Copies of this chain bind each other. A is one copy, B any other.
Amino acid sequence: MPEQHPGSRPTLEAVAALAGVSRATASRVVNGGDGVRKPLVDKVRKAVEELQYIPNHAARTLVTRRTGAVAVVIAEPEIRIFSDPFFSQQLRGISKELAAHDTQLVLLIVEGPADFDRIARYLSGGHVDGALAFSLHTDDPLPAITRRAGVPTVYGGRPSWTAGPGEEAVQYVDADNRGGARAAVQYLRSLGRERIAYIGGPPDQTSAMDRLDGYRDILPETDPTLVAEGAFTVESGARAMAQLLERRPDLDAVFAASDLMASGALRILRERGITVPEQVALVGFDDMDSVAETTDPPLTTVRQDIEGQGRLMARLLLSGLDRARTGAGRPDSVITPTTLVRRASA
């Protein structure tokens, strides 16, 4: 490997010279080689190899107006999502898909409300071809920013707001929360359970709302005392379970809107000497690796493919970008299927 003098990487010009062709032809070869005769292609390829040529990205971007990079925006309030396995898996999927398309991942962490300016500037600066963001609250300034900056954006999780009149519909990827919840409740009913309680998530998150809707689809006339609200955490699940038991000691099944909450509920049930699944059947949601399989008993739960969702977000964005160049329409949002995984808790 030839030592390169720092700061003097070979240019396309050099490759062309070595291969004995024009810069134009060298460029064609580097970009796929269409319309160039085989012997020339080979010569250029050899020159590229010999010189260890790597295209200058800035120069290319300058003329093509494509950066080959995508921003992943994470807003401050959700910074905790970093320690959230959910998010890291999603990011993982995104990373894989982007890598497969030779696209870079620029991580934009919004550092406080005043920082949206920086993000806006960055997004408007043409540094990236598109953006990926996660489901936000209604008053989040991000959608407006990306729209104004003209940066195609795909959201993870169904946004809680809808596009205004004349605006393009928001693109997002989400699990079939409602369908998954329906399946869980239906399953509990098929087991002969009659007083099925629900431990939900915070009502400002669409995933929580959708799961609740699914529960209600099956049990439209449920007594509200069978429904408790948690916050997707172990602790909140435990609290909700305690509350439910107090209100309805007769319940014979619980559907918790997350595995974490289910594990909290499980702890309470065990403490009270209530057997699972005999006395109370329990179903969770997420099929989170580190939780669902390790509880005692292991959780029956609704699985969603989180990494796949991340992958899909990236794919949706990238295909949208391609399409924009070819003039075709935008792909729709995607709802990924959920499946019920039967283990011992129900």
| Residue ranges of A at the interface with B (Cβ–Cβ < 8 Å) | 1, 4, 6-7, 9, 54-59, 61-62, 65, 67, 69, 72, 79, 82-85, 88, 91-92, 95-96, 99, 102, 104-109, 111, 115, 118, 121-122, 124-127, 148, 150, 290
Q: Provide the bound-state CA to CA distance between A84 and B126, in Å.
A: 33
Q: Provide the bound-state CA to CA distance between A79 and B92, in Å.
A: 9
Sort A-B residue pairs by CB-CB distance and give the 4 closest, nearest first. Answer: A82-B88, A58-B61, A58-B62, A95-B109
Q: Provide the bound-state CA to CA distance between A109 and B69, in Å.
A: 14
Q: Provide the bound-state CA to CA distance between A146 and B235, in Å.
A: 44
Given known pairs A65-B7, A92-B109, the reply for A56 and B126 (CB within 8 Å) is yes
Q: Provide the bound-state CA to CA distance between A62 and B121, in Å.
A: 20
Q: Provide the bound-state CA to CA distance between A95 and B82, in Å.
A: 13
Beyond A99-B111, A105-B106, A106-B107, 19 additional contacts (C-beta under 8 Å) are A1-B148, A6-B150, A57-B125, A58-B67, A59-B62, A69-B106, A72-B107, A79-B92, A82-B82, A83-B85, A83-B290, A92-B109, A95-B111, A99-B109, A99-B115, A104-B127, A105-B107, A106-B106, A107-B107
CB A255 to nearest CB in B, in angstroms, measures 26
